Amino acid sequence: MDILETDAYDRRHRRNVSCALFFSLVPFFLSTAAYFYLWTPDSPPSIMSAGVKSAPVLLLAAAVLGWNGGQSILGVVGGLIFSAVGDGCLIWPELFLYGMGAFAVAHLLYSISFLSSRYASYSSSGSSSWIRLLYLIVLIAGVGFYIFLYPFLLKLPNSDMLVPAVGIYVALISLMGALAIRTQHMPTLLGSLIFMVSDLSLALQVFKVMENMQHGNIIVMVTYYLAQLLIAVGDMKAVEDKDDFSKWKRS
């Protein structure tokens, strides 16, 4: 009977935690809806448009900070804040390199977070062959994509800065994707890989690899917000699941 009561308590606890997590994300969902409702891609850059674009990610950062406390500041919270800075910079084409730099810092902070002890319970079998294979696939994809982009980067007016900058960025986002695989935590893994897909879609358009796709910007932003949501939820859930894992080990 005690076991049944404990199991029922755990189910109620998980349900309550899931509801609390959902309500903490409501501001993100509302601000994302507002962004797409107000979005006018042909309008001139402005502080307001930068704020509307950055708001969902900043609200995600606030949700993770409220959930995890300060332990994620040099991790997912910091990455979300730098992502919001990058969002604002990308509103102005002349600030593209600054925006890319901000996102590069975000990927570095995500990588640091994925190496933290909060994700350790998921990475216990990280030496298995299929995990190593996924590492290899992500890293080869990153190198291959950069090689593919290289001739297009050379054609751009500021190629002397873009060629090394894009190389560093691709290396950092590939590292972030590989470390997300290491966690074996599904929201984190999916969020990181979707982030890579979003950036791939953006790069193909920004670097003139192909003509702007119909609804191309919508694809980029939908995948981008989804990726950030999954990474944030993964970090919020990692603390809860880590506690459950610790209790299981002590039992």
Q: Evaluate if residue 229 carries a pLDDT over 90.
A: yes
- What pLDDT, in 10s, does the model give residues 137-162? 999 999 999 999 999 999 998 899 99
CA distances from 125 to 53, 167, 185, 231 (A): 39, 31, 12, 21
The rounded distance, in Å, linking the Cα atoms of 224 and 216 is 12
Q: How far, in Å, are 97, 100, 122, 196, 214 from residue 161 at the CA level?
A: 9, 12, 39, 22, 29
Which of 17-21, 61-65, 174-178 is predicted least confidently? 17-21
For position 127, what pLDDT does the model report? Answer: 56
- Output the pLDDT for position 248: 34
CA atoms of 165 and 105, how far apart (whole Å): 12
Which pLDDT band holds residue 239 (cuts at 50, 70, 90)? low
Tokens linked to 184? 């074996």
With 0-12 / 13-18 / 19 or more C-beta atoms within 10 angstroms meaning exposed / middle / buried, residue 159 is middle
Of 58-62, 197-201, 218-222, 244-248, the range with the lowest mean pLDDT is: 244-248
Cβ distance 183 to 118 under 8 Å?
no
Tokens of 120: 């350790």
Cα–Cα distance measured from residue 106 to residue 42, given in angstroms and rounded to the nearest whole number: 27
Instruction: Tell me if residue 73 falls in helix, strand or coil.
Output: coil
Which residue type does 52 have? V
Which residues, at least 6 apart from 172, have a Cβ–Cβ distance to it below 8 Å? Answer: 104, 107, 108, 111
Burial of 61 from C-beta contacts in 10 A (0-12 / 13-18 / 19+): buried
Q: How far apart are CA 242 and CA 179, in angstroms?
A: 18
| Helix, strand and coil in the chain, % to nearest 5 | 85, 0, 15
User: What percent of the chain lies above the pLDDT cut of 90?
Assistant: 59
**pLDDT for res 247:** 40
Domain-by-domain residue ranges, the chain?
A: 2-250
CA–CA separation, 245 vs 24, rounded Å? 24
DSSP 38: H
pLDDT in tens, 31-90: 999 999 988 777 888 999 999 999 999 999 999 998 887 777 889 999 999 999 999 999
CB 87 within 8 A of CB 57: yes
Residue among 230, 222, 196, 232 at smallest CA distance from 32: 222
Q: How far apart are CA 238 and CA 114, in angstroms?
A: 10
